[in-house]
Amino acid sequence: MSTGRLAGKIALITGAGSVGPGWGNGRASAIRFAEEGALVFATDIDQSRLDETLKLAGDLAPRIKTGLVDILQSSSIEQMVKECIAAYGKIDILMNNVGGSAKGGPVEMPEEVWDTQVDYNLKSVFLTCKYVLPHMVAANSGSIINMASTSGMRWTGAAQVAYAATKAGVIQLSKVVAVQYAKQNIRVNTIVPGQLHTPMVETRLAGQRAGGDVQALLAQRQSRIPLPFMGDGRDTANAAVFLASDESRFITGTEIVIDGGMSARCD
């Protein structure tokens, strides 16, 4: 019998691979959840990313099943939920981790990029909740953890209007769903990461914002953070374990900001 803070719980995590080597938020959370005794259904659009998550999980890999999902397709999300239920019989924890930014303000951003950002960052959360909530209602229990960003709260150094708007939307969606389903003992909270050092820095953001110079971008990001170091996906995962566990049983409709104090600064 498993032990740990999440013993006996089933967790469905989207975006549980990572765009590159290292500790992405979803990958780190999948492994931390397994460490704490959960059985995990880890999903991504790319099986090779999930294989890397299983490799990093080591002896914990048998506690993690994987599945493919296209988060832009409602039918794919519905199938993902069915596969999780078929594998484990229930869903106690849903962690919505898929997301990504596109540069630009309203003038320079193409309309189709705006539409894709809305679908990718916000509609995906709506759809996973649509298909998972009935199972949680039947169980009269559940914890939903949605990933937002400090970009949804304030300017964070670059014009990315669609990302900022959709991540603000995730925060408010979470509050509305939290209140609606509180009587069913379903909690909904948001994690708001700041400028963490995740694989996305090397694979995507450095090219967008620093001409491919990873070290220059890391220095720029660190300069905004009051703490003398930059967190990574493991810091997000530790917050997710808390929100998924019974330790947070009286916490719903709120946010945990993980940014080293960045959003508390005036500049």
> What positions carry a catalytic annotation?
163
Burial of 67 (0-12, 13-18, 19+ CB in 10 A): buried
The pairing of strands 39-44 and 10-13 is parallel
Query: Tokens in use for 23?
Result: 């500790």
What are the backbone angles phi and psi of residue 149, rounded to the nearest 5°? -165, 150
Instruction: Judge contact between 235 and 201, C-beta under 8 A.
Output: no
Residues in the chain: 267
What is the number of other CB atoms lying within 10 angstroms of the CB of residue 54? Answer: 20
Query: Reduced to 3 states, what is the DSSP secondary structure of residue 40?
Result: strand
Q: Please give the structure tokens belonging to residue 89.
A: 């019989």
Specify the amino acid at residue 91.
I
Find, among 194, 265, 266, 255, the residue nearest to 230 by Cα. Answer: 194
CA-CA-CA-CA torsion sign (207, 210, 214, 218): negative
Distance CA 110, CA 118 (A): 13
Task: Report the largest interatomic distance among the alpha carbons of the chain, rounded to a whole angstrom.
Answer: 57
The amino acid that residue 15 corresponds to is: G
The token pair at 144 is 């939903």
